[in-house]
Amino acid sequence: MRQYEKSQKLEGVSYDVRGPVLEEAERMQEEGISILKLNTGNPAPFGFEAPNEIIRDLILNVRESEGYSESKGIFAARKAIQQDCQLKGFPNVDINDIYTGNGVSELITMSMQGLCNNGDEVLVPMPDYPLWTASVSLAGGKPVHYVCDEESEWYPDLADMRKKITPKTKAIVVINPNNPTGALYPREILEGIVELAREFDLLLFSDEIYDRLIMDGLTHIPLATLAPDRMVVTLNGLSKSHRVAGFRVGWMVLSGDKSGAKDYIEGLNMLSSMRLCSNVLSQQIIQTALGGYQSVDELLLPGGRIYEQREYIYQAINDIPGLSAVKPKAAFYIFPKIDTKRFNIVNDEQFVLDFLHEHHILLVHGGGFNWQQPDHFRIVYLPKMDDLKTTTAAMREFLATYRQKP
């Protein structure tokens, strides 16, 4: 019988947030073992519910959402996104510059499919949200990883970024706030990135899905507001801030000087039309979600659940011998560093697999975020405090005797 192999386009493509370690966790579950899953930033399983007015919008608009919408989305949703961009100071955004999507993930893939020819290079942060690396590769491009420096609050290393720009480089991807580190970039770093884009005539892609999840009184600066003379593609959505990850509500906004990107935009319009439209019922909640009271704010202040859980996990991780972590300022992830010499760790995936087998807790190894050393892992700190305490106690016990076998 003929053997059907996967496409060669998938060579080098991975998404280890839902990779082999998850598969092992699911196998264990099938054997009746209870697994605490801390591998994805999915608010709902941890008791974070969507605001009532959003659920009401869904119910009231079911009958109005049975047919296709325009490929870029319904007018009310895109108008609300446009107004939100105007309030933030995005330059030169028309309603036709806005594309709704089935989450940001779909739009990341679309944006790279429309951009990359075989061999084109795109600068992507390291560590990164791995879909960016995978989407560049799947589109035929070459992801080139620039370093985010742990010693400098996980900010992008501008010198390393400059060093990796070549004549084949087409764009720079920025993830701010960052997943997996929880870093929030200051103005001077963002301005430095924009200057590199100007100098080398590059497109800018800014993943800002966590821009409403900022703590410590800090402020998120949209990259688009610093680059009126550059084409900036900003991606955002409601999955995290409004606790509706399963609804798949995202959007992509084109801003700034688009005069050199007419052909690229034509390609995006074609790709958008090919998938007909994003989920129409989910689009109906965008106007309500972006207007009025933002209930997520109370979760991010002292006494709020996300804030207090961030405080706990940061202190607890740094109290475990052999671990250290930079304090996250946004989102709900922490990216601890492991003393690899102390534990003889040469394979970070094996490390999280061993922890899974012993304590039935699922984490993601640093390599899953294209970090090149086997010395990090990511914890999602969305679970309730008791589960976080269980996790850190288990990690302390595990590391007290763990030595990775060669």
252 and 119 share a domain?
yes
Pair of tokens at residue 224: 């688009």
The reported pLDDT for the residue numbered 4 is 73
> Which two tokens mark 271?
């790709």
Low-confidence ranges of the chain (pLDDT < 70): 12, 14-18
In a domain, 406, yes or no: no
Q: Identify any residues that bridge with 28 across adjacent strands, giving them in sequence order.
A: none
| Rounded Cα gap, residues 339 and 51, in angstroms | 42
Do residues 306 and 332 make contact, with C-beta atoms less than 8 angstroms apart? yes
* pLDDT tens profile 393-403: 999 999 999 99
* CA atoms of 234 and 252, how far apart (whole Å): 6
* Domain annotation covers residue 2: no
Say yes or no: 138 and 233 in one domain. yes
Same domain, 141 and 260: yes
Which of the listed residues 290, 314, 347 is the one where a domain comes to its end? 290
SS (H, E, C) the chain: CCCCCCCHHHCCCCCHHHCHHHHHHHHHHHCCCCCEECCCCCCHHHCCCCCHHHHHHHHHCCHHHCCCCCCCCCHHHHHHHHHHHHHHCCCCCCHHHEEEECHHHHHHHHHHHHHCCCCCEEEEEECCCHHHHHHHHHCCCEEEEEEEEHHHCCEECHHHHHHCCCCCEEEEEEECCCCCCCCCCCHHHHHHHHHHHHHHCCEEEEECCCCCCECCCCCCCCHHHHCCCCEEEEEEECCCCCCCHHHCCEEEEEEECCHHHHHHHHHHHHHHHHCCCCCHHHHCCHHHHHCCCCHHHHHCCCCCHHHHHHHHHHHHHHCCCCEECCCCCECCEECCEECHHHHCCCCHHHHHHHHHHHHCEECEEHHHHCCCCCCEEEEECCCCHHHHHHHHHHHHHHHHHCCCCC
C-beta separation of 310 from 155 below 8 A: no
95 and 213 both lie in a single domain: yes
* pLDDT for the residue 123: 98
Phi/psi at 278 (5° precision) = -85, 170
Q: Is position 387 within any domain?
A: yes
> Is 204 inside a domain boundary?
yes
Can you give the pLDDT at residue 177? 97
Two structure tokens written together for 335: 């990216």
In a domain, 388, yes or no: yes
- Please choose, from the candidates 179, 216, 227, the residue with its C-alpha nearest in 3D space to the C-alpha of residue 333: 179
Q: How many domains does the chain have?
A: 2
| The token pair that represents 122 in the structure block | 């795109």
Of the residues 248, 274, 290, the one at which a domain ends: 290
**Quick check: is 234 in a domain?**
yes
The residue length of the chain stands at 406
Q: Are residues 92 and 228 in the same domain?
A: yes
Q: Residue 292: what pLDDT? A: 78
> Domain with 381 in it: what CATH number?
3.90.1150.10
Range of the domain at 26: 8-49+298-401
CA 135, CA 165: separation in Å to the nearest integer? 19
Residue pair 154/179 in contact by the 8 Å Cβ criterion:
no
Last residue of a domain, one of 256, 290, 324: 290
Q: Are residues 257 and 354 in the same domain?
A: no
Radius of gyration of the chain (CA): 21
Q: Is 242 part of a structural domain of the chain?
A: yes
CATH number, domain containing residue 178: 3.40.640.10
Please indicate, yes or no, whether residues 239 and 93 belong to a single structural domain of this protein. yes
79 with 59, same domain: the answer is yes
Q: In this structure, are 361 and 212 located in the same domain? A: no
To the nearest 10 degrees (0 to 180), the angle between helices 103-115 and 130-138 is 40
* 8 A C-beta contact, residue 148 and residue 301: no
Q: Is 74 found in the same domain as 21?
A: no
276 and 310 both lie in a single domain: no
Nearest to 217 by CA among 300, 339, 126: 300
* 97 within a domain of the structure (yes/no): yes
Residues 105 and 216 in one domain: yes
Task: Give the separation between CA 187 and CA 175, rounded to whole angstroms.
Answer: 14
pLDDT of residue 385: 96
